[in-house]
């Protein structure tokens, strides 16, 4: 049995932050990452995200995805260090040179990308999909768009579950998915994609029918069962992040944190 539920049901301070405030904060955190280019100026926000991961109690869940984060970090490090040609050369290998500028840029890029990834994960792990929907609705996002986002999160386990069942079935008929080289293993998985997808799609159709039967596309204005009160602390969070962002933009205009 597989359990791929993303939301981690806990009751930390971060879990209790109003979903609207969380979504606004996520946008501000993303924007903040884009203000500076110099690694030293990005570092404080990067460190802040690690603190966020720890106080939100999601470190364990995020560690399960370490390979995704690492892959992101390595990819962006390699790409940036190879493609930036300006500045003094540090190393040269087989015609590819890495410059000082390139290293600085790639350090920034790594922090930026993994930082954004962590911020997104904290949101997903600390907020129910219904709460995200509720937050988006408060921000004026149409329900159908909010619902598509919620559905994507809801259906992930459906497709992975279908895949796991199909893997079991084919392994019992002698398909070797655990041995051989990485390429070979990947190739062996290809024939499983079609039935997983078909089975997943059948489930999606079922879900659509079931929700439709409960009045999904009703003409009434949709109400909400969830009621989450916005607290002074939610405003403090949003205003602090917005303040930091505005301050950073001014600093940048004054020429700071540039490479």
Interface mask (CB under 8 A) for other proteins, residues 189-228, using x and -?
--xx-xx--xx--xxx-xx-xxxxxxxxxxxxxxxxxxx-
CB atoms near residue 191 (< 10 Å): 11
- Can you tell me which residue has the tokens 């909010």? 146
When the beta carbons of 87 and 157 are compared against other proteins, the nearer one is 157
Q: Kindly give the interhelix angle for 182-213 and 143-171, rounded to the nearest 10 degrees.
A: 130
Interface mask (CB under 8 A) for other proteins, residues 52-91, using x and -?
----------------------------------------
- Can you tell me which residue has the tokens 């079922």? 206
DSSP-derived secondary structure for 22-58: HHHHHHHHHHHHHH--SHHHHHHHHHHHHHHHHHTT-
When the beta carbons of 224 and 233 are compared against other proteins, the nearer one is 224
At closest approach, how far in Å is the CB of 9 from other proteins? 7
Interface mask (CB under 8 A) for other proteins, residues 140-179, using x and -?
--------------x--xx---x--xx-xxxxxxxxx-x-
When the beta carbons of 95 and 144 are compared against other proteins, the nearer one is 144
Q: Could you tell me how many residues of this chain bind other proteins (CB under 8 A)?
A: 54
DSSP 8-class letter at 222: P
**CA-to-CA dists, residue 220 to 90, 151, 215, 223, angstroms:** 65, 21, 10, 9
Strands (E), the chain: 89-93, 96-99
Stretch that binds other proteins, among 31-39, 40-48, 123-131, 246-254 (CB under 8 A): 123-131
At closest approach, how far in Å is the CB of 124 from other proteins? 12
Using CA atoms, how far apart are residues 211 and 150, in angstroms rounded to an integer? 14
Stretch that binds other proteins, among 47-55, 75-83, 128-136, 244-252 (CB under 8 A): 128-136
Q: Kindly give the interhelix angle for 100-126 and 66-83, rounded to the nearest 10 degrees.
A: 150
At closest approach, how far in Å is the CB of 19 from other proteins? 13
When the beta carbons of 207 and 259 are compared against other proteins, the nearer one is 207
Using CA atoms, how far apart are residues 81 and 211, in angstroms rounded to an integer? 50
From the CA atom positions of the chain, what is the Rg in Å? 23
Q: Summarize as ranges the residues that interact with other proteins (CB under 8 A).
A: 1, 3, 5, 7, 9, 128-130, 154, 157-158, 162, 165-166, 168-176, 178, 191-192, 194-195, 198-199, 202-204, 206-207, 209-227
């Amino acid at each position: 049995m597989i359990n791929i539920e993303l939301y981690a049901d806990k009751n930390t301070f971060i879990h209790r932050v109003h979903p609207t405030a969380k979504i606004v904060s996520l946008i501000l955190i993303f924007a903040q990452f884009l203000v500076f280019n110099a690694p030293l100026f990005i570092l404080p926000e990067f460190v802040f995200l690690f603190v966020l991961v720890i106080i939100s109690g999601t470190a364990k869940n995020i560690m399960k995805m370490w390979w995704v984060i690492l892959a992101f970090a390595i990819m962006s490090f390699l790409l940036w260090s190879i493609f930036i040609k300006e500045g003094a050369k540090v190393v040269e290998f087989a015609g590819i040179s890495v410059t000082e500028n390139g290293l600085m840029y790639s350090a920034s890029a790594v922090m930026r990308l993994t930082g954004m990834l962590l911020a997104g994960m904290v949101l997903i792990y600390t907020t129910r999909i219904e709460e995200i929907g509720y937050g988006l609705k408060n921000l004026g996002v149409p329900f159908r768009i909010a619902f598509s986002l919620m559905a994507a999160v809801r259906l992930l386990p459906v497709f992975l579950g279908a895949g796991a069942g199909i893997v079991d079935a084919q392994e019992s008929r002698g398909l070797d998915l655990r041995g051989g080289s990485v390429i070979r293993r990947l190739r062996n998985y290809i024939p499983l994609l079609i039935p997983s997808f078909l089975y997943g799609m059948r489930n999606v159709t079922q879900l659509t029918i079931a929700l439709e039967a409960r009045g999904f596309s009703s003409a009434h204005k949709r109400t909400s069962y969830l009621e989450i009160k916005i607290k002074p602390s939610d405003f403090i969070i949003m205003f602090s992040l917005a303040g930091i962002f505005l301050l950073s933009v001014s600093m940048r205009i004054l020429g700071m944190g540039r490479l």
